[in-house]
Amino acid sequence: MDQKNFFLDGQTALVTGGASGIGLSTVRMLSSVGAHVIIADTNKELGHYLSEKFKSEGKKVGYIYCDISSEASISELGKKLIRKKKSIEILMHFAGIGLEKKFVSTSLDDWNKIISVNLTGSFLMTKEIAKLMIPHKYGRIVTMSSVAGLRGGTGRAAYGASKGGVIALSKVLAIELSPYNITVNTLCPGAIETELVKKMHDKETRRAFLQNIPQKRYGFPEEVASAALFFTLPGSSYVNGTVFPIDGGFNSSGIIKNEAS
């Protein structure tokens, strides 16, 4: 067994939304196996703080500002990477926003905001970084969808549409980038205890989720990061175009009877 298949020494990973939640857990995971990690986030103060904190622990972690809803901001990020002569072997595109609002109450502004960040942002960011990967004929791209992109749910009109779009986009990218030895895979987290979820999920939402999760609990960001890490490894080279739920069995569940009944 080639041990190099399980480490990322010498590789650079860009993690959007890397200053919090699943993104931050993934930064920790990637840096622990030797990757040089760049956090791309809109929170400058937190991004710089985390970069210094990781460096004090001996980890190779930097920070760069980027607003994924802005084509100009993403283009500037690409130019900075080129100026610094940074090759990017791994893109973990995790930045996104949420919304829980009934379809008939969702305004066009609500819709446009969710789509611009979650879907258009995914298009713009993967396009920019793929152009840097193609000349090197190597890359690992991991995009972030959701179980809301796989199954219908109350209040998920805009959010679900954006995440379903990410799945379709990622499958096209997997095909078009394959000739350049670049893989593209998509994570679909379910109910994960992040700050975003704490804001979105009220008591009834939590009850509805837990009723249909066989493991009867919410997941943790570290559990998503562990799955994300696999798709970045050299040894995952034949895994491409997959849609991978991390949801405690939610997407697979049907009728769940109480064992005591």
Q: Give, rounded to a whole angstrom, the gap between the first and last alpha carbons of the chain.
A: 48
For 168, the enclosing helix (H) or strand (E) is: helix 157-177
Residue whose C-alpha is closest to residue 187's, from 148, 213, 154 = 148
Strand partners, 245: 188
The catalytically annotated residue of 63, 138, 159, 218 is: 159
Residue whose C-alpha is closest to residue 96's, from 211, 210, 224 = 224
CA-to-CA separations, 42 to 19, 115, 131, 247, 256, in angstroms, rounded: 9, 18, 22, 27, 41
204 half-sphere exposure, CB direction, 13 A CA radius: 4
> Any idea which residue has 């840096």 for tokens?
31
**Known active-site residue 159:** yes
Strand partners, 187: 144, 244
Instruction: For residue 242, give both structure tokens.
Output: 């997959």
Residues with active-site annotation: 159
